[in-house]
Structure 1
C-alpha cells in the first residue's frame, strides 16, 4: 500500500516496496531456509527470493512500464531505459542466515527516489531525490541530519578488493591516527550508509567499483546525497559508473581526515 503520498510520487513507491520486502524478511526470520548457491561463496535464501518477488509486485502495480534490476531476478525491461529500479531485497544475507538482525531492504529509482528499510527496527529511511527522512511506525517523519559526533566509522571488509594493493580497507583500521580520532565498526549492510545520513555514524568506507549503479549501494548513496553527506570515491573523485570505492562522511572535516589517512 502506498501511504502518505500521492500515488504519482516515486518516493511512495520506494517506501511501499521497501516496507513490503521488510515484512517478508521479518516474517521469515529464524526459519530454517535452504541456501541457493550463487558461486564464489555467495548465496541467497528463500527470504531473498520472496522479498524480491513482493517488492517487484509493488513496483509493477505502480510503475508497470519501468525497468527493474533485482539482486536475485536480474534485469527485467530495457537496461538503458530512462527509468530503472534497483532492488536488493535482503542486504546482509549472511547475517540473516545466522540469526543476525543487521540487514536492510533496498529500493531505489536510478537517479531518483530511494528507500532503505530496517525490518527489525521498522525504520524506513527514504528520499525523494532532494531531501531525506526517516519514518517509524506511529511517529512523524524526521529529517535525516548527518553528524560526526559519534566518531563511529563503518568499514566494509567484504571482498572483492579491486583497488588492492593500493587500497586495503583493513589497513585503515591499523593506522594510529584513525584510532586516535575514530572508532571502527563493521556492519556490511546498507544500514551503515543510512546511519551516516541519520547521524548514527560519522562515516562509511568501502572498496568496490561502479557502486552508484549497484543494487547494494544505490539506495544508501541516494539517502546520503539527499541528506547532505560528503560523498566521493576512495581517490577523492566523484563517484560514477567507473568510480573507485566509496567514502561517505557526515562533514568535510571527517571526510578530509579519512582521505589523508588513506593517501598516506
Structure 2
C-alpha cells in the first residue's frame, strides 16, 4: 500500500477534527476579554470542549486507537499501535490575550514513530498537514523549509519558561545564542513554531520544556518539509523527553548544538 493511501484517511479525519476544535476555540474566544477575572476558567472550558470534539471525531472513525491529550485524555496510550496525541489549544497565553498565534494540534504515532501531523490555525484558517512519505502541506500547497545554513542569517525561536527562575538553563541558552543569530524570538506556541519552520518562515526552534502534545504534530511537518530534528545535544529526538531542536538544515543544526549544550 502506498504511503498516501495508508495515511490519507487519518489526515482527512484529523483535519476535520482540528477544524471543529478551531471553531469551538474561536466561539469561546468571543465570550471574554483579557480583563475578566474568570478568563482562566473560560479557557479551561474552551480546552475541554475542543478536546472532546477532537476525541469524538477521531474515535468515531478509529475506535481501536489510543488517545493522549493535554487535558487529561488517556485511552490505551501505552498499549495501542496507533496513538493520537492531542493539544486542543497550543498557545494558551496568546489565546487569552487575543494574540493570533495559537493552534489546534493533532499527531498520530504508530508503533513509536510519528507518522501524521495536523496543525490548524483558526485565526488565519490555515491547515498544516503532513504524513510519513507524503510531504508537508498548507491548505493544499507543498511546504519546504527555508534551507538556511548560517546562524548569522537565521530567524530563530526559543521556548522560555513562563514565570520561571531567572537562572533557568533555557534563559542561559537564549542569551548565549543571541550574539550568533540574526534574530531570536519567543512566540508562545511550540506547534505553531514547528509549522512555521516547515513553511520556511522560521529557520530554527528549540525548547527544553515541552510535553509530547507540544511537538507531536510539528515533528512530522518538519520531517516531511525537509528539516532536521534532534535533542539539544544533537541526539535522536524523543517526544516523551522534553527537548527539541528543529532546524532548516543539518549545517545550521551543527552550528547550534555546541551553543545550546553548554549547560
TM-score by length of 2: 0.82
Quote the residue 1:152 is aligned against: 155
Q: 1:123-202 to 2 correspondence within 5 Å?
A: 123-136=126-139, 141-149=140-148, 151-158=154-161, 168-175=169-176, 178-189=178-189, 190-202=191-203
CA distance in 2 between counterparts of 1:147 and 1:194 reads: 12
Q: 1:131, 1:227 within 8 Å by CA — same for their partners in 2?
A: no
Residue 229 (structure 1) aligned with residue 234 (structure 2): no
Q: 1:44: how far off? A: 4.8
The 1:98–1:57 alpha-carbon spacing in structure 2 relative to 1, beyond 3 Å, is same
Q: 1:8: how far off? A: 6.5
Quote the residue 1:118 is aligned against: 121
Quote the residue 1:35 is aligned against: 40
Task: In structure 2, list runs of 5 or more residues that go unmatched.
Answer: 33-37
Q: 2:7, 2:131 within 8 Å by CA — same for their partners in 1?
A: no
Q: 1:248-263 to 2 correspondence within 5 Å?
A: 248-263=246-261
The 1:185–1:148 alpha-carbon spacing in structure 2 relative to 1, beyond 3 Å, is farther
CA distance in 1 between counterparts of 2:8 and 2:121 reads: 24
CA distance in 1 between counterparts of 2:219 and 2:86 reads: 14
CA distance in 2 between counterparts of 1:247 and 1:91 reads: 18
Quote the residue 1:15 is aligned against: 15
- Aligned residues between the structures: 243
Query: Match of 1:45, SS?
Result: helix
Task: In structure 1, list runs of 5 or more residues that go unmatched.
Answer: 37-42
Q: 1:127: how far off? A: 0.9
* Structure number having the greater helix percentage: 2
Q: 1:112: how far off? A: 1.8
Quote the residue 1:247 is aligned against: 245
CA distance in 1 between counterparts of 2:29 and 2:242 reads: 34
CA distance in 1 between counterparts of 2:85 and 2:163 reads: 20
TM-score by length of 1: 0.82
